[in-house]
Amino acid sequence: MSDELPPGMTALDDEECWRLLASADVGRIAIVVDGRPEIFPVNFVVDGRTVVFRTAEGTKLAAIAIASRVALEIDGFEEDSGHAWSVVLKGLAWRLERFEDIYAAQKLPVYPWHDAPKPHYVRVGHATVCGRRFLARRGVRELD
């Protein structure tokens, strides 16, 4: 497999990836559940070189306790330039359990989109990031 990017596509450096991650508030987290990959939307916030999200008891929290390797993906489109971008963070996830860690997380601006209780905080760290930016071909459909 080649690391060479197609023409018109550029790799984003770590700083740009983290800047884009910090500009987003929702992404998709991939977790292995019962040996199969599952994807969940999560509201998150960047905290240093980690991300934090809230969750309830259930699939995400149980899966993270069993297999802590996760991936978080975000993407966007810049209307003014016509460029699209995608950033992927891969790291280890853990539920915050120490009171001081929970209190610190409670001060972060991470807000679920609905009113169901999400009392647990999860941090994803020890992360690597990668991303790409490219000129989007909006509305163009190619036939084989």
DSSP per-residue codes, 62-86: HHHHH--EEEEEEEEEETTTTEEEE
Q: What is the pTM of this model?
A: 0.88
Residue 62 token pair: 């149980």
Altogether, the residues listed in the chain come to a count of 144
Residue 61 token pair: 């929290």
Task: Supply the pLDDT for residue 144.
Answer: 55
Tell me the β-bridge partners of 50.
Answer: 47
Task: Supply the pLDDT for residue 1.
Answer: 42
Phi, psi (rounded to 5 degrees) for 124? -115, 120
In which residue ranges of the chain is pLDDT below 50? 1-2
Q: At 28, which amino acid appears?
A: R
Whether CATH 1.10.645.10 fits 10-135: no
